[in-house]
Amino acid sequence: MNLLYSICILFSTFILCQPLAHAFASVEATCKAAAERNRAVNYDFCVIHFLRHPRSGDVDERGLASIAASMSINTAYNVQYTIQSLLKKPHDSATISGLHNCKVLYTRMLTTLAEAVDTINGRQDGMAKNCLEMAIKEARSCEECFMVGKKPSPLTQGNKDSIGLSTVSMTILDILKHS
C-alpha cells in the first residue's frame, strides 16, 4: 500500500509540474521572435542582456518584458552616475550643457521606466508601451543634446543600451498582444 501511495504522489506531482515547466519562456526564442517582429531589436543584444539576469530563465514572456524594463532602469542609473562623474571634470560649455540636459532627461526616465515595470506587472500593456516609448524618446533626446554643440556624446553607449532594452521590452509586449 505504501508503494502504491508513493507512486500516486510522484505521478500527481509530475502532472502538476508539467504546466509550470511550459510556462517559462525561452530567452533565445523570445529574442528571436522580438527581432523578427521589430528590426530595431538586435537578437544578440537581447540574448546577452537576458542571460546576464539570474531570473530570465525562470519567467514567462511578460516576465522577460519586465526584466528588460528593469535592466533599462539599471542602465539609466549607470548613465546618471556617469553624468555626475563627468560633471566633476572640466569640459567645454557645450558638453556641460549637454550633460545637464541629459541629467534632467534621465531623472525623468527613471520615473517613467519604474512606471513601465509596474504597468507591465499589472498587465496594463498599453500604458507600459507608452512609458517605454517616452523612455526611448528621452534617451534619444539626450544623444541629440550633444549634436547641437557638435560634440561627441560621452553617453552614447548608455543611450543605446537604454533604447535597446526599452525596445526589447516594448516588442515583447507587442508579441503578447498578438499571441
138 vs 69: CA distance, rounded Å:
14
CATH top class, domain 24-177: mainly alpha
How would you write 118-167 as a 3-class SS string? Answer: HHHHCCCHHHHHHHHHHHHHHHHHHHHHHHHCCCCCCCHHHHHHHHHHHH
Query: What's the pTM?
Result: 0.86
139 vs 75: CA distance, rounded Å:
11
Angle among Cα 144, 149, 154 to the nearest 5 degrees reads 60
Coil, helix or strand at residue 105 = helix
Cell (9 digits) for 56: 530570465
Cβ neighbour number for residue 42 with a 10 Å cutoff: 17
pLDDT at 142: 97
pLDDT at 4: 53
Per-state percent for the chain, helix, strand, coil, to nearest 5: 85, 0, 15
pLDDT at 150: 83
Per-residue pLDDT of the chain (179 residues; tens, 9 = 90+): 555 544 544 444 444 444 444 468 899 999 999 999 999 999 999 999 999 999 999 999 999 999 999 999 999 999 999 999 999 999 999 999 999 999 999 999 999 999 999 999 999 999 999 999 999 999 999 999 999 878 899 999 999 999 999 999 999 999 999 88
pLDDT at 148: 80
